[in-house]
Structure 1
């Protein structure tokens, strides 16, 4: 059975909000240093991702539909900031302010989604200035937010070992702490065996 537009919109909003909440939960309980520090060679960090997602929602549900959102960080991919400027937090940008802006852009984005039909056309404000329906934009933002939430799952685990989709939902086997090193070693041995079988050299 084909979903009604209102049902499809409700589902997409649900998945978007799920990603938003997961992103912020990944910052909970961490020090100022840990929410900001780069954990990958390309600089991936927790608070910077909040900043980036704020800018993305502001563009896609603001300027794209002639409903500008004031104060959002520019997106470097849109040519409105220096490379990666929206993916890290400067010392003077407080955690509280960036999180508050993220929550503020949620309300603005949700108002846009509620006000317009899914086939309403918006214009993405960078080349090739594509005209796209709200439904397509909403699907894109859900996919982007969920992808970044997954990145932050890994970042948080590397910082302090915390895992899970949401509080009380670890999505991992209920095993003793000493099970994990043994599991890690088993996976490593399997990878080495497969590499050797493929004729690859394996670091000692």
Structure 2
């Protein structure tokens, strides 16, 4: 997908990342969407919660368009990293709906303002905190795509589901035997390379 309109391109890639991130939650238990699967605690629902805060900040607040959404995990004095996990009281539905509201608010900002509109990022150092809307959207696309990639790996670790979307995995095969043989071949190559080092 590419057009002559940068706004359309930016929106397309942002929405595809948003959709991929939410798809990774589908069909999983409450435990599995919250389960910390890395030494730093990375988990699927936390990635969605983080992405909501990023969109509301970079594509709302910094352009003088606050959403009014309460985000206690981003307030002064909040626990470090509190945006990267959901408490037992923050339901999956709440976090997903917050993210969808963040999309709507961010999209309204992008639609309402020229891409060269300058905003100020209060959490960046003074003198280095001005950014255009175009830059901010690009930053949010990159951040969301990065976290969609994290989510893809986490989901594969949980139940083997992998790929970009349910209707387009972008994987060369769906055959478990093919993947087992492929993984075995990679393991042999890694061991051979390790012996040569």
TM over 0.5: same fold?
A: yes
Q: Secondary structure of 2:176's partner?
A: coil
Give CA deviations for 1:110-155 in whole Å, capped at 9, x if unaligned. 0000010010000011131411110011101000000100110000
Does the CA-based 8 Å contact 1:72-1:101 persist in structure 2? no
The structural deviation recorded for 1:72 is 4.6
Does the CA-based 8 Å contact 1:56-1:75 persist in structure 2? no
- Of 94, 117, 121, 2:114 maps to 117
- Paired with 2:135 and 2:160, the residues of 1 have a C-alpha distance of 36
- Paired with 2:6 and 2:57, the residues of 1 have a C-alpha distance of 22
Q: Which runs of 4+ in 1 moved over 6 A?
A: none
- Paired with 2:165 and 2:122, the residues of 1 have a C-alpha distance of 34
Match of 1:142 in 2: 141
TM-score normalized by the length of structure 1: 0.89
In structure 2, stretches of 5+ residues that fail to align are: none
Q: Secondary structure of 1:164's partner?
A: coil
State which structure, 1 or 2, has the greater radius of gyration over its C-alpha atoms. Answer: 1
The structural deviation recorded for 1:81 is 2.9
TM-score normalized by the length of structure 2: 0.92
In structure 1, stretches of 5+ residues that fail to align are: 199-204
Are 1:70 and 2:68 matched, yes or no? yes
Structure-2 change in CA distance of 1:112 and 1:175 (3 Å): closer
Match of 1:23 in 2: 21
- Paired with 2:77 and 2:47, the residues of 1 have a C-alpha distance of 17
Give CA deviations for 1:168-197 in whole Å, capped at 9, x if unaligned. 212222253222222211101101111221
- Paired with 2:66 and 2:109, the residues of 1 have a C-alpha distance of 10
Match of 1:202 in 2: none
Match of 2:83 in 1: 86
Q: Secondary structure of 2:135's partner?
A: helix
